[in-house]
Amino acid sequence: MTGQANEREPRAGARQARSEQYLDNDLKGQRRWYSTRASAYKTRAQACSFAVIVAGAATSFLQVLPAGWLPASPANWVPVATAAFGALVVLLEGWQRISRYNETWPSYRAASERMKREQRLYVNGAGAYRGTEEEEAYLRFVEAVEAIIAEEQKLYWQGRPDEVSTKTPPNPA
């Protein structure tokens, strides 16, 4: 058993180094980019949603606030404040619709996690990499990672048909 573990460690180490070289150098840190962007988009989506909730609650609260609690006459500033909170809700919801943080971060996270899984399978010689020659295993790994990226890009553009140009490029002939 220990002979088998010692035999596997050098191969796993070489595969680890080769997979990191591919992910970090060839893809310029693509997996890290997906992971970082997923975290940032999730944070932004949650912040926008929380701000909408706070502004909506403040709008309702200001409308029913007893007049004795107000520092000035409600006629002066309550309509302005509720209008401002209402505008804030509309702007935040509009921005969320444009930026699509809630739609994008899960697909980025999934792509990052699938790349991590594929790297673990490759490094450990499991799954599609079991019993394959080194070069064949590496080519399968590259193809699998490229398929993950292509699928994520397809999903990204699938929900954005108005952002993709349908024109064919001019023929340079």
Query: Following DSSP, what letter does each residue of 72-140 receive, concatenated?
Result: S-HHHHHHHHHHHHHHHHHHHHHHHHHH-HHHHHHHHHHHHHHHHHHHHHHHHT-GGGTT--HHHHHHH
Is residue 4's pLDDT more than 60? no
111, 149 contact by CB (below 8 A): yes
What DSSP character marks residue 162?
Answer: G
User: pLDDT tens-digit profile of 88-139?
Assistant: 999 999 999 888 888 889 999 999 999 989 988 988 888 998 888 888 988 9
Taking CB atoms within 8 Å and a gap of at least 24, the contacts of 167-170 are: none
CA 9 to each of CA 12, 13, 88, 162: distance values in angstroms, whole numbers, following the listed order: 5, 6, 57, 50
Q: With a cut of 70, say whether residue 16 has pLDDT above it.
A: yes
Mean pLDDT value across residues 15-34:
81
How many other CB atoms are there within 10 angstroms of residue 97's CB atom? 11
pTM, two decimals, is 0.66
pLDDT above 60 (res 169): no
Mean local confidence (pLDDT), 4-22: 71
Which amino acid belongs to residue 18? R
Q: What is the pLDDT of residue 140?
A: 92
Residue 166 has pLDDT above 70, yes or no: no
Residue pair 132/102 in contact (Cβ under 8 Å)? The answer is no
| Confidence class for position 20, pLDDT limits 50, 70, 90 | confident
pLDDT at 46: 94
Cβ–Cβ < 8 Å for 147, 30 = no
Q: What integer pLDDT is reported at residue 95 of this predicted model?
A: 92
**What are the tens digits of pLDDT across the range 27-65?**
777 888 889 999 999 999 999 999 999 999 988 888 877
